[in-house]
Amino acid sequence: MPVPVRSPAGSPEDLRSSLHGRGQRLTPQRQRVLSLFERLGEGRHLSAEEVHQRLLQAEERVSLATVYRTLRLLSSMGMLQELELPEGGRRFELGGDHHRDHHHLVCVRCGCTEEFENPAVLAAGEAAASLHGFRLLECVLNVRALCPRCAQAEPNAT
């Protein structure tokens, strides 16, 4: 039974540590597969063969067998979600808790975090993306701050 993976497919480093936690390794192939889904965005679902083809097109060769293995692995880690189609054949898409915008309040002193949402942030991200011609995938706002407890411990009032 796989370990509970809390953080969605975020940074490359997240994937690495998730894998290491299970004594597994981060390989270019695994990165390529996950990265492909991240580039596609959330709604998209692909079959193993499609993943294989797309990676080939992107000049990121990964053998079909490895694609299958990796899809299964990433699913078991919760980073991908498996869809069983009635017509036969399976599809995969980005894991469920992948909000396009999820934000964190991080205490720089003790490291504790709070999560929050705010549509205004996504709007700002979309505005900037559109201004520069980018296609937005995900917005992550990190607010570096001091939590109530640590703020009290710090002997200074700015």
Partner DNA sequence: GCTTCTCAATACTGGCCATTGTTGAGAAGC
Partner DNA sequence: GCTTCTCAACAATGGCCAGTATTGAGAAGC
How far apart are the C-alpha atoms of 133 and 127, rounded to whole Å? 10
| Residue 61 binds which entry of its own copies, DNA, none, CB below 5-8 Å type-dependent | DNA
DSSP 63-119: -HHHHHHHHHHHHHTTSEEEEE-TTS-EEEEE-TT--SB-EEEEETTT--EEEE--H
Please tell me whether residue 121 binds its own copies under the rule CB under 8 A. Answer: yes
Please tell me whether residue 3 binds its own copies under the rule CB under 8 A. Answer: yes
Please tell me whether residue 103 binds its own copies under the rule CB under 8 A. Answer: yes
With 0-12 / 13-18 / 19 or more C-beta atoms within 10 angstroms meaning exposed / middle / buried, residue 55 is buried
Please tell me whether residue 146 binds its own copies under the rule CB under 8 A. Answer: yes
**Closest approach of its own copies to the CB of residue 82, in Å:** 20
**Closest approach of DNA to the CB of residue 76, in Å:** 11
Which C-beta is closer to DNA: that of 46 or that of 107? Answer: 46
| Residue 99 binds which entry of its own copies, DNA, none, CB below 5-8 Å type-dependent | none
